[in-house]
Amino acid sequence: MKEKGFDRPVKYIFIGQPNTTKTSLARRAGLKVFETDGLTEEEILDIKFYPRDTDVIIVGGKWIKHQLEIITMLSKELKENYQLIQVRFTAPAYDTLKFIVERKSKDEARYDEGGYTVSIATPDRVLEVFLNNDDGYRSHADVIPDEEVDGFKFWLKMEGGKQKVFEVEYDQILFGFSESTQEDYSQERGIIVRAKLLGKVVFEVGTDNTDDYYPSYYLKWGEKGLEGALKESNIDEN
């Protein structure tokens, strides 16, 4: 891969402990990746098993114990034709939030007009949020009490159910707070969950206009909202 400032093609060597997002980040950047995990212990120190057309060589995983030997071998065999750059990963760059959206009819719902349930899982917390349609003119989001959330059913939904499971990567997450907004006019917003990645909001659920006569629930993830989640989940809004 050509990089400005180097007279030879650049080849990156990503090193670090397992589960430190090395492969995920490289692929997100559109780089061609080769992982040493796919080699046997006899092959990892034989340069013929390393493709020349890859941008990134992932060193670590199950062969972390041979990391120094692999790097020494790569440096010796490739330095004449490539500029080698080592990148060390020491901790996960982000966590993953998963969520599912389900429609609740009047008969199933906690309130008369029905709505939607958003089941949310982070690495250290699970919760369910009911998007309550109220009377059709007003709506709001409620956290379903923990004691009413069936943990086993929650796990089945996330891991083995038929529902569409959405995944959102984040590096910061906040729960249960309010804020004032300055859009068309000053208003209060109640946020149940807000997740950010690199300072940008990537997931949020709560109630808008909490201080107004017509509050409304909302779900935002990336550039999409509740309508997008319903469409991808094959859920009819009507």
Number of domains in the chain: 2
- The yes-or-no verdict on residue 110 having pLDDT over 60 is no
Expressed as residue numbers, the domain containing 150 is 95-232
| Predicted local distance difference test score (pLDDT) of residue 210 | 85
Structural domain ending residue among the three candidates 47, 74, 89: 89
Structure confidence by residue, pLDDT tens digits, 21-34: 678 777 877 889 99
| Predicted local distance difference test score (pLDDT) of residue 185 | 57
Q: Distance between CA atoms of 124 and 108, rounded to whole angstroms?
A: 28
Structural domain ending residue among the three candidates 50, 70, 89: 89
- For residue 183, what are its two tokens? 């859009």
Domain identity same for 168 and 101? yes
| Predicted local distance difference test score (pLDDT) of residue 43 | 92
CA dihedral of 36, 41, 47, 49, whole degrees rounded to 10: -60
In three-state form (DSSP H/G/I as H, E/B as E, the rest C), the secondary structure along 164-199 is: CCEEEEECEEEEEEEEEEECCCEEEEEEEEEEEECC
- The yes-or-no verdict on residue 92 having pLDDT over 70 is no
- The yes-or-no verdict on residue 192 having pLDDT over 90 is yes
pTM here?
A: 0.60
Domain identity same for 117 and 200? yes
Domain identity same for 117 and 228? yes
Domain identity same for 77 and 106? no
Domain identity same for 28 and 140? no
| Predicted local distance difference test score (pLDDT) of residue 100 | 93
